[in-house]
Structures are given as C-alpha cells and as structure tokens.
Amino acid sequence: MKNMKDFELIEINRKNFLNKLISFKDKQLIKVISGVRRCGKSTLMQQFIKYLFTLGIKEEQIIFINFEDFENRDLLNLDNFYNYVSSKIIKDKKMYLFFDEIQQVKDFQKVVDSFYIKKNIDIYLTGSNSTLLSGELATLLTGRYVEIKMLPLSFKEFSSVMNEENIQKTYKEYVETSSFPYVFSLWDSKQNITEYLDGLFNSIVLKDIVKRKNISDIKMFLSVCEFIFDNIGLEVSSKKIADTMTSNGRKIDSRTIENYLTGLAESFVVHKVSRFNIKGKEYLKSLEKYYVCDIGLRKALLGKKSMDVGHILENVVYLELIRRGYNVYIGKINSLEVDFVAMNQNITMYIQVAASVRDESTLQRELAPLTQIRDSYPKLILTLDEDPDADYNGILRTNVLEWLLNN
C-alpha cells in the first residue's frame, strides 16, 4: 500500500488537455475549459502558464484572476473587473488573460468580449457549469470560442501516478478511491478521502445547484441524487423517478425531477446519455441513462451498496470515450441494446461492456446485438477477463484495462 509520501511532490501532468490548450495558443478564439469542480481546471491553467514561461513570455504579460478567491471579491463588479484588467494590459505586447471560475461574474461576457476584439490579447476561461456556454454567451461568442471539456483523472493518468505493475490492483484503487486529483494528497487516510468527497459533493450541491435551481426541498433533491447514483447505466425517466419517490410516500412531480436532473448535468456531476436507433439512424428522446463524473463520489454518497462491478465498469468506459472526443449514445438495434455507440467526425464504434464473458451464455448475450449491425464499423466487447484477445466474425473481444491504457 502506497502512502502519501510517495505522492508528495507529484504534479499530475494532464498531457492531453495541455496539448489541446497549446494547439490553440494565439488563435483568435476564446479558450473555455469546462468541467466539474476540482477536476483540475485551475491546475491546467497553471501548467499552461508555466509552458508560456518556457517560451520567454514575461510575468507582466500574464493576468490571472480566480473569481472564487475572496481577495478578488471587488472584481465581481463588472466595472471593477474591466478597469483592473485594462490597467494591467501592456499595449505593445502580447497579453494572456486567465479568468478562473468566470461564471461567478454576472454578465462577464460583456467584459470578455471587449478584450477579445483587441488583437494583442489571448483569453482563457474556466467554469464549473455548462450554462457558461448557453444563452447570451453562446450567441455573443458563436464561432469565437473553443470548449475543452475536462474530466477527473482517466485510468491511464491515475495509473501513471500509482506506478503499480498490477493493473487489476490499480483499477480496484481507481474505482474504490476516486479519480479527483486531490485525493493523492490525502492518500494516508481513506477517511480523509471520504470526508473530502463528502465536502466536494455538498459544495457542488449546496453552492451551485440548490442556489442556481432555487431548490427548496433539499432532502428530496438528495434522494433523487441517490437514486441516479444508484442506477447508473440503467434506463430512467423523470416519470419513473417521480413514481418511485411517490410510491415511497414522498410525492413529487416529473417537472421538479427534470429540474433536479438538469442541475446535476449542468454542474457536470452526472452525464445524460440519449438513445440512438442504429438501423433507422435517428436519435430517440425517451429513456435515457445517466453516468456519474467519478465513482468515488458515488461511493461516498451511497456507501457499501455502491459496488456494482458491471455498471461501474460501464461508467468508466463511458467517461473514457468522452475523453477521447466521441459523442456517445446508447444503441438500439431491433429489440436489443448496444451499451455504447461512439461517434466522431471520422468513425463510429459499437461497444459492449461486461465484467466477464467467460460464461458462454453471457458471451452470446453480449454478441447478439453486435451481430445484428450490418455496417463495417469496429465492434468491441470490453471485459475485465485477463484472456488473450478473440475475434468473433469481426467482433473483437479485448481486455478493458489494456484498452483504457492504450490511448
């Protein structure tokens, strides 16, 4: 068992995200880094600033403001914000502006836009809420920003820090601890990690969602959170959740449930996945599924009943597909379901996820929907089984941990 000293001097290099930022440097686009609280957005900004220093950029060319720092409370006022940044800008030099948790500033887009139009300014924003890019901002900045969607640590990133030869053991730590980067600073005490995750969940729920969505019945909201966390990878609807709550003696309507689910998704705590009809090539609007941003956060909320191996693995694979830039859907083919249809501009992939397919009936169940798909796109079965890869008439079965590491 590793202890905290093993991780004391580690700064986790989020290479994929950093390279994305570097590729957009000095492009006439506002760079927006979005993601759940504490997933590493601020650290990524700091790593990018260090990179700028290696290029010879001077400290006076960089303006960094964290809008959640109490010291900067006066800058939440638009005029103060604009005047402060304007006073720091050197007109004949390239300037790099970094605004952390920008959603704290009401109508911030007006100030951002006024700096965007200046030729010597490169702008970087972070936000912990997807509404950052909705409504007026999206309209104002259409075609003028690029969004980098950040997530907590991937299994590959987590493994690079653990530096453990046994990848099965590393995976166990990954799903039983957390993928939030700060947990490595608390590694000596699992109790401290649990308390950190409890605090993080409460911060997101109380600081962000309850306030923004005007939720008055916090107890009911927490019950809905528990329901969603407990039912990852299962088809749900607002009506189904409302009916479940009502049958337990707690009456609530579907519209209120929808408000709760929207709040969770906007704060990146959960990800909503819609269904896709593979044969008809159409998106379906009912019976979506939800996955959580971090399995450790789920365990902190649910306790011991949370360790459902198959659905946890499904959750891990879903997040990895998002990291790799895919749009992900639940596939429907005739009366059967494909766990994931992953699409990008170049390719579509069909993926089944199972803890094990060593049992012949389980293998046939996982193969069944894939065999009904008539196109030639890749078809995968990802499993924890430590067996050699196998090919079933063009359907590849492979070890999921190796797949997670090979990116």
Radius of gyration of the chain (CA): 23
Residue of higher predicted confidence among 269 and 2: 269
Tens digit of each residue's pLDDT (9 = 90 or more) over 223-264? 999 999 999 999 999 999 999 999 988 899 999 999 999 999
pLDDT at position 2, please? 57
Tens digit of each residue's pLDDT (9 = 90 or more) over 84-101? 999 999 999 999 999 999
Tens digit of each residue's pLDDT (9 = 90 or more) over 336-367? 999 999 999 999 999 999 999 999 999 999 99
Backbone phi, then psi, for 305, in 5-degree steps? -75, 0
Domains of the chain: 6-149 (3.40.50.300), 155-405 (no CATH)
Percent of the chain with pLDDT over 70: 95
Tens digit of each residue's pLDDT (9 = 90 or more) over 120-162? 999 999 999 887 776 656 676 777 889 999 999 999 999 999 9
Q: In what order do the strands lie in the sheet with 95-100?
A: 62-66, 95-100, 121-127, 30-34, 145-149
Tens digit of each residue's pLDDT (9 = 90 or more) over 19-57? 999 999 999 999 999 999 999 999 999 999 999 999 999
If we measure between CA atoms, which residue out of 64, 32, 31, 37 comes closest to residue 50?
A: 64
